[in-house]
Amino acid sequence: AGGKSARVDFTNGADKGALYVREGEIIEAESGDVRGDEAFYKLMTWKEGTFSAGACEQYPARSIELSVMSLLMEAARRNDESAT
């Protein structure tokens, strides 16, 4: 994310989700009625879909405390486990 701030919206068929990135850190994720880390991991299981990024005027309260690298490593671990 390189220190950038944005809202990233994801669409996969009827499913929708969003990531909120503030100053390069993922601070919140939404996927359906799931929020936080679990929503991030859910979004990372999507094999297809579209996304768009844009400015965010107002950010939600931070619920994700892990670093981007930690989130990605855990998402990869979970995806590996579900593939076996």
Residue 82 confidence (pLDDT): 87
Which residues of the chain carry a pLDDT beneath 70?
1
For position 66, what pLDDT does the model report? 97
* Joined tokens for residue 66: 């892990």
**Stated pTM of the model:** 0.90
Phi then psi dihedrals of residue 2, to 5 deg: 55, 35
pLDDT for the residue numbered 1: 54
Q: Of 12, 3, 1, 5, which is closest to residue 51 (Cα–Cα)?
A: 12
